[in-house]
Amino acid sequence: MAKKMPARDQIVKLIVGAGQASPSPPVGPALGSKGVKSMDFCKVCVPCRRPRFAYPRRQEFNARTAHIQPGIPMPARVTVRPDRSFSFELRTPTTSWLLLQAAGVKEIKNRIRGAQKPGTETVGTVSLKHVYEIAKIKQSEMRLSGLSLEGLCKSVIAQAKSIGINVVP
């Protein structure tokens, strides 16, 4: 007879607009399939009348992103434990979104991602100063803090080339 495997934590990766999490897709189905109530992830923290002895009141997504401009896509990594409790870690906005904002690109029409060869179609330009600022934003993230700023700048430049943004000195 086979041994029963112990339950393990599950990871859910989401990209949600700052302050705009709601139980509708993509949040609801992603967390609901893991047994987590999506309202618990979304709600704004309100003061609790009765004290909680075991766990401090945790801030949920909308409360944690209240200081950020609404709508900025914030990646979140949600860890769902076997007892259906969860914790989540916020990350910085994606590099491609930061590059498109720095280039001033509002909307890309009639363009299918991956359809063109990198470096052939240009949608905007950014300066090295923008690249440096984006690299500093990304370095503030805990998982990237050990990387050198030069390495992060090279990574940002490579990302810019792949989405059709020219980097000028």
The DSSP line for 123-137 is -EEEEHHHHHHHHHH
Please tell me what DSSP assigns to residue 63: H
β-partners of residue 167 are: 126
What is the tens place of the pLDDT at every residue in 89-142? 888 888 888 998 898 887 665 554 544 565 567 888 899 999 999 999 888 887
Mean of per-residue pLDDT scores for the chain: 78
pLDDT, one tens digit per residue, over 29-44 is 888 888 888 777 776 4
- 84 neighbors 36 (Cβ within 8 angstroms): yes
Model confidence, pTM: 0.73
